[in-house]
Homo-oligomer: A and B are copies of this chain.
Amino acid sequence: MALVVIGGVAAGLSAAARARRLDPRLDILVLEKGNVISYGACGLPFFIEGRVRDARELTVYTPEYFRRQRNIEVRTGARVVSISHSRREVALESGERVRYDKLVIATGARAGAAGITGADRPHVFRLHTYDDAVRLKAFLAEKRPKRAVVIGAGYVGVEAADALRRNGLAVTVLEQGPNALLRDDPRLTAALQKQLERHGVELRCGAAVAVIEPDHVAGVPCELVILSAGFTPNVELAAEAGVEIGRTGAIRVDDRTETSLRGIFAAGDCAETFHLVSGRPAYIPLGTTANKMGRVAGANAAGARERFPGVAGTTIVGAFGMAFAVTGFSAAQARSEGFSPVLARVEAPVRPKYYQAAFGAPRSSLTTVELVADRATRRLIGGTVIGEDGAAGRINVIAAALAARMKVEDFEALDLAYSPPFAAVWDPLLIAAQQLVKEF
Q: How far is the CB of A278 from chain B (nearest CB, A)?
A: 14
A411 to B312, CA, bound (A): 13
Asked whether A308 is an interface residue with its Cβ less than 8 Å from the other chain, the reply is yes
Most buried by B among A43, A400, A425: A400
A366 to B323, CA, bound (A): 21
Asked whether A417 is an interface residue with its Cβ less than 8 Å from the other chain, the reply is yes
Asked whether A421 is an interface residue with its Cβ less than 8 Å from the other chain, the reply is yes
Q: How far is the CB of A263 from chain B (nearest CB, A)?
A: 24
Among the 9-residue stretches A51-59, A168-176, A218-226, the one with 4 or more Cβ atoms under 8 Å from chain B is A51-59
Chain B residues contacting A314 (CB-CB under 8 Å) are: 415-417
This chain: copies in complex? 2
Asked whether A286 is an interface residue with its Cβ less than 8 Å from the other chain, the reply is yes
Task: Tell me the chain A residues, 291-330 only, with Cβ under 8 Å from chain B.
Answer: 291-292, 308-318, 323, 325, 327
Say whether A289 contacts B415, CB under 8 Å: yes
A397 to B417, CA, bound (A): 10
Say whether B396 contacts A403, CB under 8 Å: no
Nearest B-chain residue to A354, judged by Cβ: B57
Among the 9-residue stretches A98-106, A108-116, A121-129, A386-394, the one with 4 or more Cβ atoms under 8 Å from chain B is A386-394
A43 to B427, CA, bound (A): 16
CB within 8 Å for A287 and B425 given contacts A354-B43, A397-B400:
yes
Say whether B354 contacts A423, CB under 8 Å: no
Asked whether A377 is an interface residue with its Cβ less than 8 Å from the other chain, the reply is no
Most buried by B among A318, A397, A411, A417: A417
Say whether B415 contacts A276, CB under 8 Å: yes
Say whether B425 contacts A288, CB under 8 Å: yes
Asked whether A69 is an interface residue with its Cβ less than 8 Å from the other chain, the reply is no
Interface size class of A (residues with CB under 8 A): 35 or more
Say whether B358 contacts A318, CB under 8 Å: no
Chain B residues contacting A391 (CB-CB under 8 Å) are: 417, 422
Task: Tell me the chain A residues, 392-427 only, with Cβ under 8 Å from chain B.
Answer: 392-397, 399-401, 403-404, 406, 410-411, 413-423, 425-427
Q: Which of B288, B318, B423 contacts A421 (CB 8 A)?
A: B318
Task: Tell me the chain A residues, 328-384 only, with Cβ under 8 Å from chain B.
Answer: 352, 354-355, 357-359
Say whether B390 contacts A392, CB under 8 Å: yes
Chain B residues contacting A140 (CB-CB under 8 Å) are: none
A55 to B251, CA, bound (A): 62
Most buried by B among A53, A311, A419: A419
Chain B residues contacting A420 (CB-CB under 8 Å) are: 40, 42-43, 46
Q: How far is the CB of A216 from chain B (nearest CB, A)?
A: 31
Q: How far is the CB of A282 from chain B (nearest CB, A)?
A: 11
A395 to B390, CA, bound (A): 12
Say whether B419 contacts A316, CB under 8 Å: yes
Chain B residues contacting A399 (CB-CB under 8 Å) are: 414-417
Q: How far is the CB of A148 from chain B (nearest CB, A)?
A: 21
CB-defined A-B contacts under 8 Å, sample of 22: A40-B420, A40-B425, A43-B355, A46-B358, A52-B358, A286-B418, A287-B418, A287-B425, A291-B425, A309-B413, A313-B415, A316-B422, A323-B422, A392-B423, A393-B396, A393-B397, A396-B416, A397-B397, A400-B400, A400-B404, A400-B414, A403-B406
